[in-house]
A and B are shown apart, each in its own frame.
Chain A
Amino acid sequence: MKRNKLLYLLGLLLFFGCEDRLEIDPWQSKDDELVFTSVNTMENALTGAYDALQDDDTYGSNVVQSADLKSQFVRWTGSFTSYTEISGKNLTTSNAEARDLWIDGYDGINRANRVIDAVDAGVDDPLFESVKDRIKGEALFVRAILYFELVRNFGLPYSEENVGKPGVPLILKGTLALSDARELPTRNTIAEVYAQIIKDLKDAKGLLPATPALEGRAFKSTCDAFLVRIYMTMRNWNEVVTFADFVINSNLFALDKDPTSTFGEAFTPEMIFGVIHTTTDNLGNTNAALNDYYNPNERGDIFIPQSTLDLFPSGDKRLGWFFTQEEKVWVNKYMEAKYNTPVIRYAEILLAKGEALLELGAPVDDVLSFLNQIRDRAGLGVLIGLTSDQVVDSLRLETLREFVAEGHSVYDLQRWKQEVGFSNDRAETVPWNDPSLVFPIPQRERDVNPNLEQNEGY
């Protein structure tokens, strides 16, 4: 009988449940309200914003790769429909790269906005005062450069006739509640977006330290360098010179002696801003890193055509960027997943200043002093005594050579208002401001937000 009684007891015990049995918290996540409670977790959220830059749909890979596929200096042979469409300049509104740049770009902007909002709201932590400016400055920087990639991919190139045309919606507040998320914004004009980017970068510069808090983080000069790039896009030559001088006079940067040493796992003195990849960020077989596409030992979808090689004279040290395998020529800037993505190199600042001086009508020798730094480093002879027309050609050629396969060329051609070619075997070209060079507003977004106007040509 004793045993029976025990069983009763056991059974009866099981009848009494309690609420606690249903209280389970996640292990890999934190509730929203617990994140901005200390400086430590706020720093984690800021790191999360940089992580958005490293995403393969933004600076992790597509900011470079999609831009490269828009012009004639690389060749695409892969099977992914999305890239094939970019290469053929016949994107559909469901193109996955366009869609993902939009989604992941705004994801990063929200990550930055949440940090900015949290700094503005303040945190009850004794460390807060000493870090709040830097944290906010870094978040503003992240937001600015993501808006820059969005506006130049989804909007027409910046020009007098285009500035009033639609850019992208400007969202400057973080999303916390469902009601915020369900708002349906419209597209701000290209001018408005550029104005915000410039404001953010200038604000960020004011808040940031002169040297990075951690490797790969924003500081004053990264803001200056991005402002150079943005004013170049706007053809605002005076401002280019101003901000290029800030970068040059900081004395923090120099051209690498060996141009092939710039690309890899470590930042060299030439790298003003790059996106850092560790081995775990993009595994080799996930189709998500630049090396998957540019390295013939991986997918090997993007190679360098003879016409691009022909741009380089023999003896140019930059020919060390290329190698031949399987009867094709490849670029070695992205050999492994852990190579950093170069975003702004010092070479760009020098060439930008040269170009700005040229446009401002400065003496040819002043322009050449910047161009020749690049030529000299490449092991090419310095140029002297050129006409200003010859300097234009030399400067443009040097720019195309210097940034081959770094996602620059389409934007350079657009700035020069030159025709843009194809990265497949088609020999035709399209005008610099052709709508086919602009991504469509993703179908997905227009399905959920009818306020978003579609781009021309889609």
Chain B
Amino acid sequence: MKRIVMLFVVLCFIGLQAGIAQMKSVTGTVTSADDGLGMPGVSVVVKGTTTGTSTDIDGRFSIMASSTDVIVFSFVGMKQQEITVGDQTVINVVMQSETVGMEEVVVVAYGTQKKRDLTSSVANVKAEDLDKMSVVSFENAISGQTAGVQVSTGSRAGEANTIRIRGTSSVSASSQPLYVIDGVPQGDYIMGYTGNNTQISPLSSMNPADIESVQVLKDASASALYGSRASNGVVLITTKTGRKGATKISVDYSLGFQRETDFMDVLNGSEFTELFNEAYFNTFGVEKILGEPEDAINTDWLDAATRTGVVSNFNVSASGGNEKTTFYAGFSHQDEEGYTKGNNFKRITIRTNLEHLISEYVKFGINLSLSKTVNDRSSNNNSVSSVSTSGVLQYPNIPIFGDGSDLFGEEGTFYLGNGINPFNNIAYNLLNEIDQNIHEAVTVRPTVNGFAEIKILDDLKFKTDLSYDYVDLYEKIFFGVNSGDGGGSNGVSQALTFKRDNIVTTSVLTYSKVFKEDHNFDALLGYSYEQTTRNEANVTGQDFPDNSLYTINSAAEISGGGSSITKYSLESYFSRFRYNYQQKYLFEFSIRRDGSSRFGKDERYAVFPAFSAGWIASDEDFMEKYGWLSLAKLRLSYGITGNAEFLSSTTNPNATGANFPSRGLYGTGANYNGNPGLSPTQLQNPGLKWEQTRQFDIGLNLGFLDDRIAFEVDYYIKKTKDLLLSVRLPSTSGYTEFADNVGKLENKGFEFGLNTRNLVGDFKWSTSFNLSFNRNEITDLEGQIVSNGISQAREGEPIGVFYTVPFAGVDPDTGEALFYDLDGNKTTTYSDEFRRVVGDPNPDYTGGITNNFSYKGIDLSVLIQFVQGNDIYWDAGRFAGNSQSLQFNNVKSQLGRWQKPGDITNIPKAELFNGPNRSHSSRFIQDGSFVRIKNITLGYTLPKKVAKQMYLNNVRVYVTAQNWFTFTDYDGHDPEVSSNGTVNVGQGRDFFQAPPSKRFVFGVKIDL
């Protein structure tokens, strides 16, 4: 080794000596083919040396070189050019944009690969597509942009989003993809204090502007190298790095506002009075209990508790470097006011990515990031203090404030009673709650990732990295002394901390070699170890002097507290071989062996192999006559992946991976009268093992007319077996369930992608379209039924079907609700025996279409997203869309209730407390299809000359309208629902979920 290095050093020295002899000065200008203007910051380097410079503001350069030298011109996004000096002393270069498409390099598991050579299904989202979106977390930006990826946005800033790649491939284990940031797998898909209802996405601490690209690994061949966590697909996120050349500084500022996309249309005071009077009469036989409708007070609670929130985002980044050292540094500050009063999100992020060549053989780098997020969270959907809940249910015929009257109390104080309404409606005075309560979550997250890469031989490289990722979350929750939730205890305060640290180390040896020009071979051998520890602590106090003194120190009584620790580790060996002949016949094989602390000794290890092959038919001689066909590639892949993220609960939206699911355990906490107690909490199953998914994929890539039309289609079958399931037990055993591997499910589907450059020239128009069909079926559950409320996993059905009593409309003679009995006859009886599958939350197809137009400096981009054929169970409708439950305010559609014999309607007569009918039935199932104009961005880039006069490189101003138009028949707040978080059985059920926001943003981006 030493000898080889010495030899290199000697050779370099000789080269240098030779060079000095014939040096001359070479000058010139580098211009862009796009606009003919000089390009600043282009790297100009004498090939094989460290001699280099970069172009000045006008694109001019000057460099010393000899006539035998080759000068290399490079710039991000442009084709690199190499020019031999010869006798030239002036070299003018025109830089061409790099053709996007098959030549681009994409990030894959533990490495990169030319897109052309891919044999697997990988979707790619580039920085420029993410940049258009005004989002807190990047997952929100990818929905509608890639085939096979479905995103249901969490409605509140920073919340975890539900992402499904090629359908749901588990019942009781997580179906969220594995996120890998700069090569570091992120163990958590949600995080936060376990007892809290809504958890935080670990990606929300990441600034989307720092992201260079996002790759979604969809088939088994692409993802299998991540083995036991790859069944749900893998999302690779790569952050920006610097390139050698002049330092680029870029500043982006945007300012805008946001509102909810939509709210339910609720009854006003008069309408409510009319319906309530009728309901009271129908139930108790007393007329006009609330008086005349026209005399009613009209309070619009939803309007009163919401606002137009101001959102702003500031980003500044610098990148650059020289031959030896490159860097990227980014800073961002995001400040968003939610549309709900009291809901705010603030984030500061700093990132530095640094790489340095110690010598020709050794490179090291370090990625450092720090973020701080301050989130004033709004209440959970199922909490009565939530705006999206109480804003609907609260009586509209009571005032917000007292008016000095005996009934409503002192002027200027919040009115907390029921007014003239005879019943205590559980809804709160929201304005009082907003005024009284505090819920602040502060997350600080430093991450460090250091690596060293050693070139052992020209073809053999060794890379090792160590990453440490620490999350520190602190939540202060206070229900004020006069609040609905804390009032009874004179204020309740909670302090919660959550600390998670994740250590990952990976070492990879790679070898790549071309034999006899045609045989391209590369191999990889790797090892990794990961360990994740979660620490939690909480304390609760009650009885506070007043609302300004709300930390636990001020509590008269400490009423609760606890702390817990949990940990798991994963140790893996993996390897991959790739071979291609003439870059035409492509083969790949990979294998990974994972060992997890989560399983018992007998089933601790599992092996995950994958194989794929590709054939680029368009490179064959016999295809030459079809000149219009620029690419024809056929791909095949098959592989096995796993899932060990068995959730601690099938129904809890915040269930995290269970770390000890196979053991028979006695748990702590079963205390009595201050004495410590233990109780049996888990039944042992020593045979518990990994969930296994086998996926077959066949794909075709076609390019026409020099890739102006690029078409891609994939068909896949994804079969999962040994499902990790909480199998129900007769409770007479003392246990309700135990963890087992039971049953099978299947996802299969088609994905289409079509990218076209419709118009080129001055007026450019390109379209990108994607469409995915996925069919999910649970093929075997060994007779088990997994239920989460009315959502079930049942054999022979897609996952999460709605299983409840079928509604049969309203009896025109009596106005009573009717149901179908087992024989299909209509009856007024409501019985659980009638339950059957009445709805499916899985869409028939999903997709998106993006159109980009540009003319001179003007650009316009429109992204339309659509979801078709899914059912939503409007759980909130049982309360607010139910003419038989008028002790709550209802939506306007209930005005269409049955009133007199002969009325034909689907809305029963107005009633109160009609128990069985408020229970679940198919009456609340609705079509969840929607089309959403997700993003419209209009931008104008100042002509370079104008920018230059301002001493700037580039100036672009833009306006973005996001989620501005939504077309749907759904009656709830918004059709993009994920009330049940990321759980598999429970999707598509909407219990007053707060709608996402729509926003309008103005921005300017300046490259200095």
Contact = CB atoms under 8 A, between A and B. Distances in A.
Given A14-B505, A32-B684, A181 B729 contact: yes
B902 interface: no
B832 A51 contact: no
7 contacts: A1-B5, A17-B527, A47-B671, A48-B680, A50-B677, A84-B915, A113-B734
Contact of B735 (A30, A44, A46, A175): A175
Nearest to B675: A47
A445 B659 CA distance: 28
Contacts of B492: 283-285
Nearest to B564: A28
B560 A424 contact: no
Given A15-B527, A102-B731, A445-B731, A47 B677 contact: yes
Contact of B567 (A24, A30, A50, A447): A24
A138 B127 CA distance: 67
A178 B684 contact: yes
Interface in A118-176: 169, 171, 174-176
Nearest first, the 3 A-B pairs at minimum CB distance are: A110-B734, A47-B677, A48-B679
Q: Which of B359, B670, B678, B738 neighbours the largest number of chain A CB atoms within 10 Å of its CB? A: B678
B467 interface: no
Contacts of B663: 26, 29, 31-32
Contacts of A185: 730, 732
B916 A183 contact: no
Contacts of B423: 77
B597 A45 contact: no
B682 interface: yes
Contacts of B486: 285
A285 B659 contact: no
A102 B2 CA distance: 75
Interface of B: 2, 5, 284, 358-359, 361-362, 417, 423-424, 426, 452, 454, 462, 464, 479, 485-489, 492, 505, 507, 527, 529, 531, 540, 542, 557, 559-561, 564-569, 571, 595-597, 604, 659-660, 663-685, 728-736, 738, 785, 787, 830-832, 879, 887, 913, 915-916, 918-919
Interface stretch (A90-98, A196-204, A250-258, A307-315): A90-98
Contacts of A31: 663-666
B733 A29 contact: no
B811 to A, nearest CB: 19
Nearest to B676: A44
Contacts of A333: none
Q: Which of B527, B660, B683, B732 neighbours the largest number of chain A CB atoms within 10 Å of its CB? A: B732
A30 B678 contact: yes
A24 B568 contact: yes
Contacts of B731: 102-103, 106-107, 444-445
Interface string A206-218: 0000000011100
Given A47-B670, A284-B488, 5 more contacts: A17-B529, A28-B565, A29-B667, A54-B672, A111-B679
Given A1-B2, A15-B507, A449-B730, A28 B735 contact: no
Contacts of A443: 832
Q: Which of A30, A49, A276 neighbours the largest number of chain B CB atoms within 10 Å of its CB? A: A30
A301 B488 CA distance: 14
A419 B831 CA distance: 26
Interface residues of A, number: 96
B1 to A, nearest CB: 9
Contact of A21 (B560, B565, B571, B666): B571
B793 to A, nearest CB: 13
Contact of A4 (B454, B489, B670, B677): B454
B193 to A, nearest CB: 15
Contact of B678 (A1, A33, A48): A48
A44 B678 contact: yes
Contacts of A27: 564-567
Nearest to B361: A4
A94 B834 CA distance: 13
B362 A7 contact: yes
Contacts of B670: 47-48, 51-52, 111
B729 A176 contact: no
A69 to B, nearest CB: 13
A279 B559 contact: yes
Contacts of B665: 26, 29-32
B832 A11 contact: no
Contacts of B659: 24, 26
A45 B730 contact: no
A46 B679 CA distance: 9
A326 interface: yes
B733 A90 contact: no
Given A14-B529, A181-B735, A30 B666 contact: yes
Given A7-B464, A424-B913, A443-B832, A175 B683 contact: yes
Contacts of A84: 913, 915
Contacts of A93: 832
A178 B683 contact: yes
B785 to A, nearest CB: 6
A300 B424 contact: yes
A103 to B, nearest CB: 4
A88 interface: yes
A298 interface: yes
A27 B563 CA distance: 10
Contact of B729 (A41, A114, A448, A452): A448
Contacts of A299: 426
Given A51-B672, A92-B832, A102-B731, A32 B596 contact: no
A389 interface: no
A24 B916 contact: no
A94 B792 CA distance: 14
Interface string A22-62: 11101111111101000001011111111111100000000
B485 A285 contact: yes
Nearest to A291: B488
B677 A45 contact: yes
B464 A29 contact: no
A155 to B, nearest CB: 15
Contacts of A53: 672
A285 B673 contact: no
B660 A29 contact: yes
Nearest to A80: B426
B12 to A, nearest CB: 16
Q: Which of B485, B596, B915 neighbours the largest number of chain A CB atoms within 10 Å of its CB? A: B915
Contacts of B664: 31-33, 176
